[in-house]
Chain A
């Protein structure tokens, strides 16, 4: 009927809009746009005023690369769990506990190459425990892992008291996790590799599909025969394991472990995920989004430090970023549901 007459002009008018809409429909679309915009601004500014705004100086880039991996690892684990429809608030404490255990064991003569897998094993174990309690008693994981946050922070002090521990493993271990390769920080390369691995797992592997299905509509996933409890426990285990990995990277870089380290990191990790477009209700999100969310938090921190803004600006800025991102996600999800 009238379709033919309208097809020509209508299509040319809507095409660029559709491209934008499709980008925004991608879970990481909006964060990608905002991130790209900020990078363009920062880089332009840095090129115009290289003396005042040292954003592109090698020192600054090195600082960024060293800072990103810890939050990156935590956020990847927390992100997978959020897509499966659960939260983990205990990762900051698990990060501290596994680091302390590893450092104490290395001081007692254990090889770093044994102590690190032990730390990951403990992290995975705590994750599985969180999952079992959550699912067995049908509780909100928010509450269970809030308990975890306090319990494992206490366990750090119980295990080794409120003292700093030196972490001094064999040089090969330090080189592997805190050295550099082609000018890139090793920890950053680990993060890139892990991000790639998680991307494949979540978006191109059966388990990832089950994680999305479980978080997206648990009843449907169960009806079709997916073992949703098992899927959730695996996601909890990944979150715990990644907290330990973050601990390994941080300890190898700093060379010591503080009992109080990682306080508040669990919230930053969730913040990175929300900024990266993950739904708080589960079932929606992407690994790219999580990665960009982490970079975003660190870029903003970095920029505010470079322009010597007082510390409280930083927290206020991240707060605005989180709430803004959550509003944006809500709008996108609502439009999808209509």
Chain B
């Protein structure tokens, strides 16, 4: 792997009162790398995601972005570092159209602040057609509230793609998706990787992770127990680590 990692966690600890959610967790995400963050329920995956997206602050340890030590204190800090989190229950407004959601908070406007609607609609259409191919979305004017879970996720990914995020954090992205939608999503992750976008795939499903990830970080009881490149492991070994540790 060449150069400094985009994002690095240095012996991160996180406690909620008496509960230690994470302890001494360190791993990194390289440029254009797809990392699978695996582990059973309660291993600390969600806490890690919240930490990387700026919702939680670590109790100890620190993060570094491009080799520079930083601290994410809010969602905006993490967004400024180029990280976009895509949740199952993703940050969309149901009563607005797909186009309006994609450009929410980052509208294209003229100097007076009026929206360039035709331009935004065209881009939304293009992004939906080329970047994220998910069936059933036939117009960027559809309200997000009318979409299925997978389609909503696709819109959130389209938004991240268009705004050129460097790291996508996908938290259990396939759990609500149909087989076909899952396939489309995983292909999307690979396509983005070819464009230099890194992803962190947080999932239960080792098979999905094995399809696309370059490296696996396995967590158990709030810390890392295994960190291995795809070439040096097998599904069998990964399963063993998730189940047995």
Q: Which residues of A contact B (CB under 8 A)?
A: 200, 204-207, 209-210, 212-213, 216-217, 219-226, 279, 283-284, 336-337
Query: Roughly how many angstroms separate A27 CA and B57 CA in the complex, as a whole number?
Result: 41
Asked if B24 is at the interface of the complex by the 8 Å CB criterion, the answer is no
Supplied contacts A206-B113, A226-B105, 20 more A-B pairs, CB within 8 Å:
A204-B114, A206-B109, A207-B113, A209-B96, A209-B103, A209-B115, A212-B93, A213-B100, A216-B93, A217-B91, A217-B94, A219-B91, A220-B91, A221-B104, A225-B76, A225-B79, A226-B104, A279-B95, A283-B93, A336-B145
The 9 tightest CB contacts between A and B, nearest first, are: A216-B93, A220-B91, A224-B105, A223-B91, A216-B95, A283-B95, A217-B93, A226-B105, A206-B113
A222 and B75 within 8 A (CB): yes
Asked if B146 is at the interface of the complex by the 8 Å CB criterion, the answer is yes
Query: Roughly how many angstroms separate A106 CA and B127 CA in the complex, as a whole number?
Result: 58
Contact with A along B70-94 (1 / 0, CB 8 A): 0000011001000000000001111
Q: Considering the complex, give the chain A residue whose CB is closest to the CB of B79.
A: A225
A213 and B117 within 8 A (CB): no
- Residue of B75, B76, B94, B109 ringed by the most chain A CB atoms within 10 A: B94
Q: Considering the complex, give the chain B residue whose CB is closest to the CB of A210.
A: B105
B76 surroundings in chain A (CB, below 8 A): 225
A279 surroundings in chain B (CB, below 8 A): 95
Q: Which of A204, A217, A225 contacts B117 (CB 8 A)?
A: A204
Q: A216-B96, A284-B95, A337-B145 are in contact. Are A221 and B113 (CB under 8 A)?
A: no
Q: Is the interface of A mostly helix, strand, loop or mixed?
A: helix
B115 surroundings in chain A (CB, below 8 A): 204-206, 209
Q: A224-B91, A225-B76 are in contact. Are A209 and B114 (CB under 8 A)?
A: no
B113 surroundings in chain A (CB, below 8 A): 205-207
Q: How far is the CB of A203 from chain B (nearest CB, A)?
A: 9
B105 and A217 within 8 A (CB): no
A205 and B114 within 8 A (CB): yes
Q: A205-B113, A206-B113, A226-B105 are in contact. Are A220 and B75 (CB under 8 A)?
A: no
A337 surroundings in chain B (CB, below 8 A): 94, 145
B107 and A206 within 8 A (CB): yes
Q: Which of A209, A213, A336 contacts B143 (CB 8 A)?
A: A336
- Residue of B95, B104, B143 ringed by the most chain A CB atoms within 10 A: B95
Query: Roughly how many angstroms separate A210 CA and B96 CA in the complex, as a whole number?
Result: 11
A220 and B93 within 8 A (CB): yes
B79 surroundings in chain A (CB, below 8 A): 225
- 11 A-B residue pairs with Cβ-Cβ distance under 8 Å, sorted by A, are A205-B114, A206-B115, A210-B105, A212-B95, A213-B105, A217-B93, A217-B94, A220-B92, A220-B93, A224-B91, A224-B106
Q: How far is the CB of B155 from chain A (nearest CB, A)?
A: 12
Q: Considering the complex, give the chain A residue whose CB is closest to the CB of B76.
A: A225
A212 and B117 within 8 A (CB): no
A225 surroundings in chain B (CB, below 8 A): 75-76, 79, 105-106
Q: Considering the complex, give the chain B residue whose CB is closest to the CB of A337.
A: B145
Query: Roughly how many angstroms separate A59 CA and B100 CA in the complex, as a whole number?
Result: 45
Q: How far is the CB of B123 from chain A (nearest CB, A)?
A: 15
Query: Roughly how many angstroms separate A226 CA and B145 CA in the complex, as a whole number?
Result: 20
B75 and A223 within 8 A (CB): yes
Q: How far is the CB of A280 from chain B (nearest CB, A)?
A: 13
Query: Roughly how many angstroms separate A252 CA and B103 CA in the complex, as a whole number?
Result: 43
A217 surroundings in chain B (CB, below 8 A): 91-94
A213 surroundings in chain B (CB, below 8 A): 93, 96, 100, 104-105
A219 surroundings in chain B (CB, below 8 A): 91
Q: How far is the CB of A68 from chain B (nearest CB, A)?
A: 28
B143 surroundings in chain A (CB, below 8 A): 336
Query: Roughly how many angstroms separate A209 CA and B109 CA in the complex, as a whole number?
Result: 11
B104 and A209 within 8 A (CB): yes
Q: Considering the complex, give the chain A residue whose CB is closest to the CB of B75.
A: A223
Q: Which of B144-203 contact A (CB under 8 A)?
A: 145-146
Q: A226-B104, A226-B105 are in contact. Are A200 and B95 (CB under 8 A)?
A: no
Q: A204-B114, A224-B104, A336-B146 are in contact. Are A212 and B94 (CB under 8 A)?
A: no
Query: Roughly how many angstroms separate A223 CA and B79 CA in the complex, as a whole number?
Result: 9
Q: How far is the CB of B121 from chain A (nearest CB, A)?
A: 13
A216 and B94 within 8 A (CB): yes
Q: How far is the CB of B5 from chain A (nearest CB, A)?
A: 25
Q: How far is the CB of A197 from chain B (nearest CB, A)?
A: 12
B100 surroundings in chain A (CB, below 8 A): 209, 212-213
Q: How far is the CB of B107 from chain A (nearest CB, A)?
A: 5
Q: How far is the CB of B157 from chain A (nearest CB, A)?
A: 14
Contact with A along B9-48 (1 / 0, CB 8 A): 0000000000000000000000000000000000000000
